[in-house]
Structure 1
Amino acid sequence: MPATSTRRTLSRQWELLKLLPNRAPGITASEILARLEDSGHSTSKRTVERDLIELSQIFPLQCNDKGTPYGWYWTPGQSSELPGITLGEALTLSLVEDSIRPLIPGFMLKSLEPRFNQARNKLQALSDESASARWVDKVASVQPTLSVMPPEINQEHLETVQMALLDDRQISSRYYSAHKNLTHELTLNPLGLVQRGQVTYLVGSAEPFDDVRLFVLHRFEYAKLLESPAKKPAGFSLQQYIESGAMQFGIPRQIQLHAWVSDSLARLLHETPLSADMTLTHQEDGASLTATVNDTWELKWWILSHAGSIQVHEPIELRRELRARMTSGLSLHETD
């Protein structure tokens, strides 16, 4: 039997074994066939039935033949835990590997490394005969921002922060503030880790203050785990903190944006509105835009990126700030 056929058969049979329940009435060959096909294994019901009969001679499998259709299951009391991963699990691990690495404690990540390697090896081995195994080469996630190189995070600092979060303990640190060009000695109360694009942030507070702030992980010059317990604000929830808009740097206030937009930008906004209450009133030379939005730097970047296609009318403070930025930018490009 060719090597590719052998790999295909072994992978299908291994996935079949992992589909079987631990008790009667079991699962039918037709149900197994449907699940195998969902996992990317193209086969037939007759092949599944033959696999079940062959595997029952090696593994403690039973068939519930009291009525049709027959159901297959693991013999009660026998271990049904199998090493290895399914094709779907291999795809998932391969797709999420890079994005979850900064968010998983180092000792847990080490235990996952064999699974990551196993996922890559399985996809590579099955790529010639399984279209599903090639799916990882046909999808990608691209950030809707300027592509920049990810910052380098000190692994020891990352592990210290992760352990502090696990044990709810404080951190003694030396932190560089890029905007102020200053280094601060801080005792931090870690509350969470958040991955935003290429950058990982520590959410926490700095003694003796209670307000929750963001600390860029790659800017830590020193980090030591303390024995003292971390202080957590009453009722704090990382998910609620993110939903509040804090990852846009500062708790944003909502504003009513009134602006003129060009026809081309109006067409884009029809597809991807700025807010649930956004309205576009078409005019002869474009459209009038009204939307409730958060007053954030991302909003200002978005407006500046569409310079020439949008004119802000209100709020007047936002209009003045944008005009000042564009005037400053123009002054830098006035001379050749």
Structure 2
Amino acid sequence: MPDSTSRNTLSRQWELLKCLPGRAPGVTCAQLQAYLQDMGYQVSKRTIERDLQNLSGLFPLQCNDRGTPWGWFWAPGATLELPGMGLGEALSLVLVEKALHFMLPVGLRQGLEPRFRQARRKLESLAEGNATARWLGKVASVQPELSLQAPEIDEVLLETIQRGLLEEQQLHCHYYAAHQDRERELTLNPLALVQRGLITYLIATAQPYTDVRQYAIHRFRQVELLPTPTVGGEQFDLQTYLDSNALQFGPTGKILLQAWISSSLARLIKETPFSSDMTLEPLVEGYRLQATVSDSWQLRWWLLQQGESLCVEAPEDLRAFMRETLRRTLLRYNAPGIGSNHQATTGRECDI
């Protein structure tokens, strides 16, 4: 088995061949050195010159030596389609596999699996001597909210749903409606797949209705592909749907939020504003926040999370919601023996 130095040399020379142009005047050794350094290969110009001299004995390479600096390129008519995988491609494929696991059609993902494996092996084999190959150990994407585990998704059901979406055919489904705590039988017109945080949703209409709804993929119990075509797909535009804030859930529409916030919270919000029209008015104590936002459950959850650092002033219905929710929360905390064995047997549940 080749050692780490040999693997890095072969990989570097492969990258070198792949970036040579197909005609004169070619690229210079200085340009090639800069490219390879961007790819994580710390190599001198002299080493690149030696590589090109050696490779020209095996591949149809030419050197434009009529002026300085010299330029290297493939001979006319030579194939530029090299097998194998470059370091940049390997890094991209591993990132795609992690980020878009449920967004790729199952059949396509299975077809790409050999390439994913090859990409992982390439990065692993070069990690010792190449900083770029170690890039995955230096970057991460995390959820901003409480770190929950992603729900399990049945791959067979997911593939059937994706086929219905791809082929624009209806789906006969058994779906668990969590809010109603029961399983429903539905005929769905699949329109889109959207990933929101850890949850992947099928955007669809349920026959015979035309209102567009979201169905969490992990709640499907049975899915059958029907021969009948999807109804309403021509009128549906995914970007327009997303722009409507439909995936925010709960109340819809825009509101002008006005709230008192603490100085510490104001410092954080200045860095990540609510909206382009957000203003912060300094007060004797704290700040007055004003911003046009979507009235969603996501907004209300965030407001409740701020505790004593925030007090909603307007609109009145949102202020009333906050007041009532916090009142019921306080009752829970003030109830004697809450959380004790005695209370646990009374069937009391928190309905906040």
Same fold (TM > 0.5) = yes
Structure 1 residues 45 and 235 mapped into 2: Cα distance closer, same or farther (>3 Å)? Answer: farther
- Equivalences, count: 335
**Counterpart of 1:93 in structure 2: which amino acid?**
L
C-alpha displacement of 1:66: 4.2
**Counterpart of 1:311 in structure 2: which amino acid?**
C
Q: Secondary structure at the match of 2:158?
A: helix
CA deviations on 1:82-116 (whole Å, 9 max, x unpaired) are 23222222222223322211111122111211222
Q: Which residue of 2 aligns with 1:56?
A: 56
Contact 1:40/1:131 (<8 A) preserved: yes
CA deviations on 1:241-269 (whole Å, 9 max, x unpaired) are 22321221268311001111111111111
Structure 1 residues 223 and 6 mapped into 2: Cα distance closer, same or farther (>3 Å)? Answer: same
Hey, what's the Cα distance between the residues in 2 that align with 1:143 and 1:241?
Answer: 24
Q: CA RMSD in A?
A: 1.8
Q: Which residue of 2 aligns with 1:236?
A: 236
Contact 1:189/1:230 (<8 A) preserved: yes
Contact 1:210/1:233 (<8 A) preserved: no
Q: Which residue of 2 aligns with 1:204?
A: 204
**Counterpart of 2:254 in structure 1: which amino acid?**
Q
C-alpha displacement of 1:199: 0.9
For structure 2, which runs of at least 5 residues remain unmatched after alignment?
338-352
What is the TM-score with the length of structure 1 in the denominator? 0.94
Q: Which residue of 2 aligns with 1:29?
A: 29
**Counterpart of 1:141 in structure 2: which amino acid?**
S
C-alpha displacement of 1:123: 1.7
Q: Which residue of 1 aligns with 2:290?
A: 290
What is the TM-score with the length of structure 2 in the denominator? 0.90
Contact 2:191/2:233 (<8 A) preserved: no
Instruction: Indicate whether 1:157 and 2:168 are aligned.
Output: no
Hey, what's the Cα distance between the residues in 2 that align with 1:32 and 1:251?
Answer: 57
Structure 1 residues 149 and 76 mapped into 2: Cα distance closer, same or farther (>3 Å)? Answer: same
Q: Which residue of 1 aligns with 2:217?
A: 217
Q: Secondary structure at the match of 1:215?
A: strand
Structure 1 residues 243 and 44 mapped into 2: Cα distance closer, same or farther (>3 Å)? Answer: farther
Hey, what's the Cα distance between the residues in 1 that align with 2:250 and 2:307?
Answer: 25
Task: List aligned pairs for 1:36-185, cutoff 5 A.
Answer: 36-185=36-185
Q: Secondary structure at the match of 1:85?
A: coil
**Counterpart of 1:82 in structure 2: which amino acid?**
L
Identical columns (%) = 51
Structure 1 residues 17 and 211 mapped into 2: Cα distance closer, same or farther (>3 Å)? Answer: same
Q: Which residue of 1 aligns with 2:247?
A: 247
**Counterpart of 2:165 in structure 1: which amino acid?**
L
**Counterpart of 1:31 in structure 2: which amino acid?**
Q
| Residues 266-275 or 235-244, more deviating | 235-244
**Counterpart of 2:273 in structure 1: which amino acid?**
P
Runs (4+) of structure 1 exceeding 4 A deviation are none
For structure 1, which runs of at least 5 residues remain unmatched after alignment?
none
C-alpha displacement of 1:143: 0.1
Hey, what's the Cα distance between the residues in 1 that align with 2:261 and 2:147?
Answer: 27
Contact 1:245/1:251 (<8 A) preserved: no
Q: Secondary structure at the match of 1:144?
A: coil
Hey, what's the Cα distance between the residues in 2 that align with 1:249 and 1:123?
Answer: 41
